[in-house]
Amino acid sequence: MSESDKPVSKLFEMCVRGDSYREDYDFEMFGEDVTAVLRPMKDEEFLPIAAFLKAHLDMDEEEAIDAVEAAKEEAEEAGEDSIDISQMDAEFVVAMQKAAVNALVGSYDGEGEFIEHDRDEAEKMVSMMVGGYSVELGGKALEIAGDVRDATKFRGSRGGQRRRGAE
């Protein structure tokens, strides 16, 4: 999705909220509706993953997101509940799981109450996920990271503004 395809309100919200920006990601796990709450990865978390993807798998984060989306579509077409990670590159799976851990900050209980997760809890949850759910979360984490980069280029953000006289 290009910068111009993203809703301006989302870009604006990312600019205004910055590090406190959160995004709910709804998916189905074992027949149950689940909502994970993800945050943008910080550069120190995102850049090593992006560098690894480029150096070892010759793909950027957009291509990684596309690979996850394609795997989700294949699973749906095959009538499967989740991505078959046994058909994916093991290093790719690990990179996506790392992205999921980095971005996962919470979820909702059965009554809709937010439950915050620290990094240890996120690692434990992602490691216990069976099937491709962890890869799906990792793909969404990369998508949010890409959205944040677009938000910093958005002219309403600090990253996109010019100082007077700099033109």
* Rounded mean pLDDT, 145-164: 51
78 within domain boundaries: yes
Q: What is the pLDDT of residues 71-118, one digit of tens each?
A: 999 999 999 888 999 989 999 999 999 999 999 999 998 899 999 999
90 within domain boundaries: yes
Strand pairing of 32-38 and 23-29? Answer: antiparallel
Domain of residue 106, residue span: 3-157
Number of folded domains that form the chain: 1
Q: For residues 57 and 155, which has the higher predicted lDDT (pLDDT)?
A: 57
CA torsion sign for 61, 13, 108, 74 is negative
* Local confidence band at 157 (pLDDT 50, 70, 90 cut-offs): very low
165 within domain boundaries: no
Contact 77, 69 (CB under 8 A): no
Q: Give me the helices (H) in the chain, please.
A: 8-17, 43-57, 61-77, 90-103, 119-128, 133-153
* Rounded mean pLDDT, 117-136: 93
> What gap in Å lies between CA 154 and CA 14, rounded to an integer?
10
Check residue 101 and give its pLDDT: 98
97 within domain boundaries: yes
> What gap in Å lies between CA 83 and CA 131, rounded to an integer?
6
* Rounded mean pLDDT, 51-58: 96
167 within domain boundaries: no
- The model's pTM: 0.79
Average pLDDT across the chain, whole number: 83
Contact 75, 82 (CB under 8 A): yes
125 within domain boundaries: yes
Check residue 15 and give its pLDDT: 63
128 within domain boundaries: yes
109 within domain boundaries: yes
Taking 80 as the threshold, does the pLDDT of residue 40 lie above it? yes
